[in-house]
Amino acid sequence: MNIIVIGTSTGGLGTLKCLLAGLPADFPAAVLVVMHIGAYDSILPELLKESSSLPVRYAQDREAIVPGVIMVAPPDRHLQVEHGTLKLTYGPKENYSRPAIDPLFRSAAMMFRQNAIGVLLTGNLDDGTVGLQAIKAYGRTAIVQASAGSQGAMYAAQCASTRRCRLLPAG
Protein backbone atom coordinates (compact mmCIF):
# COMPACT_ATOMS: atom_id res chain seq x y z
CA MET A 1 0.00 0.00 0.00
CA ASN A 2 1.15 3.51 -0.78
CA ILE A 3 0.78 6.36 1.68
CA ILE A 4 0.86 10.12 1.19
CA VAL A 5 1.70 12.15 4.29
CA ILE A 6 0.99 15.88 4.22
CA GLY A 7 2.07 18.50 6.73
CA THR A 8 1.21 22.18 6.96
CA SER A 9 0.82 25.03 9.39
CA THR A 10 -2.52 26.78 9.86
CA GLY A 11 -1.66 29.20 7.05
CA GLY A 12 -1.73 26.35 4.55
CA LEU A 13 -5.44 25.54 4.64
CA GLY A 14 -6.16 26.97 1.18
CA THR A 15 -3.27 25.11 -0.43
CA LEU A 16 -4.21 21.90 1.37
CA LYS A 17 -7.81 22.14 0.16
CA CYS A 18 -6.59 22.75 -3.40
CA LEU A 19 -4.23 19.78 -3.23
CA LEU A 20 -6.91 17.42 -1.89
CA ALA A 21 -9.42 18.67 -4.48
CA GLY A 22 -7.10 17.27 -7.16
CA LEU A 23 -7.28 13.71 -5.85
CA PRO A 24 -9.79 11.48 -7.69
CA ALA A 25 -12.53 9.58 -5.86
CA ASP A 26 -10.72 6.31 -6.62
CA PHE A 27 -7.33 7.48 -5.30
CA PRO A 28 -5.39 4.30 -4.48
CA ALA A 29 -3.28 5.57 -1.56
CA ALA A 30 -4.00 6.44 2.05
CA VAL A 31 -3.64 10.14 2.87
CA LEU A 32 -2.63 11.31 6.33
CA VAL A 33 -2.64 15.01 7.22
CA VAL A 34 -1.11 16.99 10.06
CA MET A 35 -1.92 20.67 10.46
CA HIS A 36 -0.66 22.80 13.32
CA ILE A 37 -4.03 23.18 15.04
CA GLY A 38 -2.73 22.87 18.59
CA ALA A 39 -5.11 21.89 21.39
CA TYR A 40 -8.02 23.93 20.10
CA ASP A 41 -11.32 22.49 18.87
CA SER A 42 -11.18 22.23 15.11
CA ILE A 43 -13.52 21.59 12.23
CA LEU A 44 -10.65 20.77 9.90
CA PRO A 45 -12.14 17.52 8.51
CA GLU A 46 -15.39 19.34 7.70
CA LEU A 47 -13.47 22.12 5.95
CA LEU A 48 -11.48 19.61 3.90
CA LYS A 49 -14.61 17.63 2.95
CA GLU A 50 -15.87 20.72 1.12
CA SER A 51 -13.19 20.33 -1.53
CA SER A 52 -12.40 16.61 -1.55
CA SER A 53 -14.08 13.73 -3.35
CA LEU A 54 -12.52 11.38 -0.78
CA PRO A 55 -13.90 10.74 2.70
CA VAL A 56 -12.20 12.88 5.36
CA ARG A 57 -12.21 12.27 9.11
CA TYR A 58 -10.14 12.54 12.25
CA ALA A 59 -7.79 9.64 12.79
CA GLN A 60 -8.58 7.25 15.64
CA ASP A 61 -5.94 5.51 17.75
CA ARG A 62 -5.19 1.97 16.49
CA GLU A 63 -7.38 2.46 13.42
CA ALA A 64 -6.36 0.62 10.25
CA ILE A 65 -4.83 2.70 7.50
CA VAL A 66 -7.24 2.69 4.58
CA PRO A 67 -6.45 3.60 0.95
CA GLY A 68 -8.68 6.30 -0.50
CA VAL A 69 -9.42 7.92 2.87
CA ILE A 70 -7.99 11.17 4.22
CA MET A 71 -7.26 10.92 7.94
CA VAL A 72 -6.40 14.04 9.90
CA ALA A 73 -4.47 14.39 13.16
CA PRO A 74 -6.88 15.48 15.90
CA PRO A 75 -6.15 18.46 18.15
CA ASP A 76 -3.28 18.08 20.62
CA ARG A 77 -2.23 14.61 19.42
CA HIS A 78 0.72 13.51 17.32
CA LEU A 79 -0.32 11.23 14.46
CA GLN A 80 2.00 8.36 13.64
CA VAL A 81 1.86 5.02 11.85
CA GLU A 82 2.80 1.78 13.55
CA HIS A 83 2.42 -1.77 12.19
CA GLY A 84 -0.17 -0.74 9.59
CA THR A 85 -2.33 1.21 12.03
CA LEU A 86 -2.59 4.79 13.20
CA LYS A 87 -1.14 5.79 16.53
CA LEU A 88 -2.19 8.93 18.40
CA THR A 89 0.09 10.14 21.16
CA TYR A 90 0.27 12.98 23.63
CA GLY A 91 4.05 13.14 23.41
CA PRO A 92 6.19 16.23 23.91
CA LYS A 93 5.69 19.08 21.48
CA GLU A 94 8.09 19.14 18.56
CA ASN A 95 8.97 22.51 17.09
CA TYR A 96 6.50 23.96 19.61
CA SER A 97 3.67 21.96 17.99
CA ARG A 98 1.35 19.11 18.86
CA PRO A 99 0.31 17.75 16.48
CA ALA A 100 3.65 18.10 14.73
CA ILE A 101 4.59 17.07 11.21
CA ASP A 102 7.88 15.29 11.88
CA PRO A 103 6.47 12.41 13.98
CA LEU A 104 4.12 11.46 11.13
CA PHE A 105 6.75 11.80 8.42
CA ARG A 106 9.40 9.84 10.37
CA SER A 107 7.02 7.01 11.24
CA ALA A 108 5.69 6.80 7.67
CA ALA A 109 9.24 6.59 6.35
CA MET A 110 10.12 3.79 8.77
CA MET A 111 6.94 1.76 8.27
CA PHE A 112 6.22 2.31 4.57
CA ARG A 113 9.76 2.95 3.30
CA GLN A 114 9.67 3.35 -0.50
CA ASN A 115 5.85 3.44 -0.43
CA ALA A 116 5.70 6.77 1.45
CA ILE A 117 5.56 10.17 -0.22
CA GLY A 118 5.89 13.31 1.88
CA VAL A 119 4.30 16.66 1.06
CA LEU A 120 5.35 19.69 3.10
CA LEU A 121 3.30 22.82 2.61
CA THR A 122 3.74 25.94 4.71
CA GLY A 123 5.53 25.08 7.93
CA ASN A 124 6.23 26.33 11.41
CA LEU A 125 9.92 26.67 12.20
CA ASP A 126 11.51 23.61 10.59
CA ASP A 127 8.78 21.10 11.42
CA GLY A 128 8.70 18.48 8.68
CA THR A 129 12.27 18.82 7.45
CA VAL A 130 13.68 15.89 9.45
CA GLY A 131 10.75 13.73 8.44
CA LEU A 132 11.21 14.62 4.77
CA GLN A 133 14.87 13.65 5.04
CA ALA A 134 13.79 10.24 6.33
CA ILE A 135 11.33 9.79 3.46
CA LYS A 136 14.01 10.76 0.93
CA ALA A 137 16.51 8.41 2.61
CA TYR A 138 14.22 5.49 1.77
CA GLY A 139 14.24 6.57 -1.86
CA ARG A 140 10.83 8.16 -2.21
CA THR A 141 9.71 11.56 -3.29
CA ALA A 142 9.40 14.63 -1.12
CA ILE A 143 7.27 17.51 -2.35
CA VAL A 144 7.83 20.96 -0.88
CA GLN A 145 5.81 24.13 -1.38
CA ALA A 146 7.98 27.12 -2.20
CA SER A 147 7.12 30.18 -0.19
CA ALA A 148 8.44 33.65 0.38
CA GLY A 149 10.89 34.47 3.15
CA SER A 150 13.72 32.64 4.84
CA GLN A 151 11.63 29.57 5.70
CA GLY A 152 10.70 29.06 2.05
CA ALA A 153 14.31 29.55 1.03
CA MET A 154 15.41 26.89 3.53
CA TYR A 155 12.86 24.38 2.21
CA ALA A 156 13.81 25.17 -1.39
CA ALA A 157 17.52 24.73 -0.68
CA GLN A 158 16.89 21.43 1.04
CA CYS A 159 14.71 20.27 -1.83
CA ALA A 160 17.30 21.27 -4.43
CA SER A 161 19.90 19.09 -2.70
CA THR A 162 18.30 15.88 -3.95
CA ARG A 163 16.76 14.50 -7.11
CA ARG A 164 13.93 12.89 -5.10
CA CYS A 165 12.33 16.20 -4.27
CA ARG A 166 9.86 18.34 -6.20
CA LEU A 167 9.22 22.01 -5.50
CA LEU A 168 5.67 23.34 -5.78
CA PRO A 169 5.05 27.03 -6.46
CA ALA A 170 3.69 29.10 -3.58
CA GLY A 171 0.01 29.92 -3.46
| Domain residue extents for the chain | 3-168
Question: What are the pLDDT digits (tens) for 98-148?
Answer: 999 999 999 999 999 999 999 998 755 688 888 988 998 887 788 887 665
pLDDT for the residue numbered 143: 83
**CATH assignment of 3-168?**
3.40.50.180
For residues 35 and 10, is the Cβ–Cβ distance under 8 A? yes
| Distances from the Cα of 60 to the Cα of 81, 105, 123, 168, angstroms | 11, 18, 24, 30
pLDDT digits (tens, 9 = 90+) for 42-75: 999 999 999 999 999 999 999 999 999 999 999 9
Residue positions annotated with a catalytic role? 9, 36, 127
- The whole-number average pLDDT for the span 7-24 is 91
Per-residue confidence at 88, pLDDT binned at 50, 70, 90? very high
